[in-house]
Amino acid sequence: MPSYTAPLRDMRFVMFDLLEAERDLAALPAFAGVDRDTIDAVLEEAARFASTVVQPLNAVGDIEGCRIDADGNVSAPPGFRDAYRQFGDAGWPALSCDPAFGGQGLPVLVNNRVYEMLNSANQAWLMYSGLSHSAYECLVAFGNEEQKRVYLPKIVSGEWSGTMCLTEAQCGTDLGLIKTRADAAGDGAYALTGTKIFISAGEHDCSENIIHLVLARLPDAPAGTRGISLFLVPKFLPDADGAPGARNTIRAGSLEHKMGIHGNATCVMNLDGARGWLIGEPHKGLAAMFVMMNSARLGVGMQSLGLAEMATQNAIAYARDRIQGRAATGPANPGKAADPIIVHPDVRRMLFTCKAHTEGGRALATWVAQLTDRAHAHPDPAVRAEANELIALLTPVVKAALTDNGFEVCNLAVQVLGGHGFIREWGMEQLVRDARINMIYEGTNGIQALDLLGRKVLHDGGARLGLLRKLVGAFLDVQAGDERMQAFTAPLRALDTELAAVSASVAADVGADPDALGAASTPYLRLLGHYVHAWLWARMAKLALDAPARDAFLEGKLATARFYFSKLLPETSALLAVIRSGPGSLMTLDAAAF
């Protein structure tokens, strides 16, 4: 069976050395009292909980799955409910929530590292509470005072969990096709009728109530996305004391039979006149839902980062122990019949790729969490505004680049383990199956790419991209005289120039051919992902080079940075060629001829 040890040294390196979190938090009044000792204590306890309570249930959930009875009641796999109770009792759901609603008021920076650990340990289990924080953010932003009073303290405590009910059989990304209707009940509530599919944790027995955030149409709704409203639909209607009361008429019709995440109940949810309450204004539900959705997209990136860490750890451990063949330069272990496979260049290629994607992804995800704290809590409106613009630019990158890379890491881990990687008991094949969904839900990665290029880069004339390039340019200028950094700064500067040129080229192409956007978007997202990762890896290399004494950890960091720049970053040349090739070869064949 696989094992998991939280990468606390790397988390601390990223937070305190790379991102200078202590100094950054000191500038935010809400977090001025959060010091390194506090953060370390939280991370160490989270590491213990993840490895001893949650991770042992990962294989159990995969093998046992969930069960549904004739009345639509769903039971989570054995052990999940007790672990969820411990999770709530320890206060983990409240970590970065507002103290006004019972939260602990810690930074998102800390919360995300905790969630990375829990995703490594058991993604399917964490999904029972995974969307609760996103629902919390939506209600904080758009809920009325009564909704906040009744629901937020229960969500923050973990007693109640949340879901996001968007998808229907006839529509996924195109939410304008939604048919679920909401009719006024005459008492301020609405009666919702329709069917939603693919609802993660839509029904389960872990929390005592489930709060569904449901997209639906009012009778007078205009067509398309302009006619969508958002409703709060609880599984149990709160009574006068705020406790779960009568059962609402929203039930699970069936469980989806899935490729992975077997431990999480992915449900078809039927609403039969279910009572719900409007969130925000009529016909403006997408604005409210996108608060939740963007939070969830960042969370999905964290899911794949967690799986990538798990896969990387176990692949390295296996490669150190498994003996097969001899090193090309002569026996590395003459006392044994063969050498460990970690001596072979191609195995090292796979392991370095795993490390580069995982550690680079951690740096990116942690930086976006830091930006989120600035956006929420910095006293300077200009700093808050800039942080929000960078988050908007980077959200599709976190969601798509980290999930693409995470899936590749899990596949490489299977390859490192060879035949054992294909066998259930080693746990690697489960990681592949679990990771695959992350590239699909919360908006497929192709949709993320369209959002990035169309809305986040071209729509504002490259202003958001300019903010990112300004940060990269400032770093390059400071490092200009350091010869040790040339292996990192020269290719990054060249890529910066190419990124500016190809962005302008695509903008011109889209003006002449609407299909140019769709043809360029996916390689463009991967290109920008490399750009951000290269900047972060160059900064991490600088820290390692400047360290007064390099230990094994820093030597590994520097070696991985060199590998990234020499073996992975050259992919950008191919991506630039693909982007510049335009849509012609994609669009000339008639659909009937495929």
Cβ neighbours of 350 (radius 10 Å):
19
Instruction: Tell me the average pLDDT across 62-81.
Output: 97
Q: Is the pLDDT of residue 318 over 90?
A: yes
SS3 per-residue string spanning 118-183: HHHHHHHHHHHHHCHHHHHHHHHHHCCHHHHHHHHHHHHHCCEEEEEECCECCECCCHHHCCCEEE
Q: Which amino acid is at 180?
A: T
Q: Which amino acid is at 506?
A: V
Q: Is the pLDDT of residue 408 over 80?
A: yes
Q: Which CATH number fits domain 8-135: 1.10.540.10, 3.40.920.10, 3.40.50.10320, 3.10.20.600?
A: 1.10.540.10
Q: Is the pLDDT of residue 480 over 90?
A: yes
Q: How are beta strands 250-255 and 209-216 bridged, if at all? A: unpaired
Unique residue bearing structure tokens 């990304």: 173
Instruction: Give the pLDDT band (50/70/90) at residue 592.
Output: very high
Instruction: Tell me the average pLDDT across 277-300.
Output: 90
How high is the mean pLDDT of the chain?
Answer: 96
Q: Is the pLDDT of residue 1 over 80?
A: no
Question: What are the backbone dihedrals phi and psi of residue 197, each rounded to the nearest 5 degrees, phi first?
Answer: -125, 165
What tokens appear for 406 in the block?
């995470």
pLDDT at 174: 81
Instruction: Tell me the average pLDDT across 197-214.
Output: 97
Question: What are the backbone dihedrals phi and psi of residue 391, each rounded to the nearest 5 degrees, phi first?
Answer: -60, -45
* pLDDT tens digit sequence for 218-242: 999 999 889 999 999 999 999 999 9
Instruction: Give the pLDDT band (50/70/90) at residue 172.
Output: confident
Coil/strand/helix, residue 254? strand
Contact 167, 175 (CB under 8 A): no
Instruction: Tell me the average pLDDT across 103-126.
Output: 97
Burial class (CB in 10 A: 0-12, 13-18, 19+), 461: exposed
Cβ neighbours of 482 (radius 10 Å):
13
Q: Is the pLDDT of residue 8 over 90?
A: yes
CA 290 distance to own-chain centroid: 15
Give the separation between CA 142 and CA 144, rounded to whole angstroms: 7
* pLDDT tens digit sequence for 139-167: 999 999 999 999 999 999 999 999 999 99
Domain borders along the chain are 8-135, 160-284, 461-582
pLDDT at 550: 87
pLDDT at 196: 97
* pLDDT tens digit sequence for 447-463: 999 999 999 999 999 99
Nearest to 212 by CA among 194, 225, 227, 188: 194
Instruction: Give the pLDDT band (50/70/90) at residue 181.
Output: very high
Unique residue bearing structure tokens 């982007």: 579
pLDDT at 175: 82
Instruction: Give the pLDDT band (50/70/90) at residue 46.
Output: very high
pLDDT at 292: 81
Instruction: Give the pLDDT band (50/70/90) at residue 287.
Output: confident
The residues annotated with a catalytic role in the active site are: 442
CATH of domain 160-284: 2.40.110.20
Contacts of 48 (CB under 8 A, 6+ apart): none
Coil/strand/helix, residue 3? coil
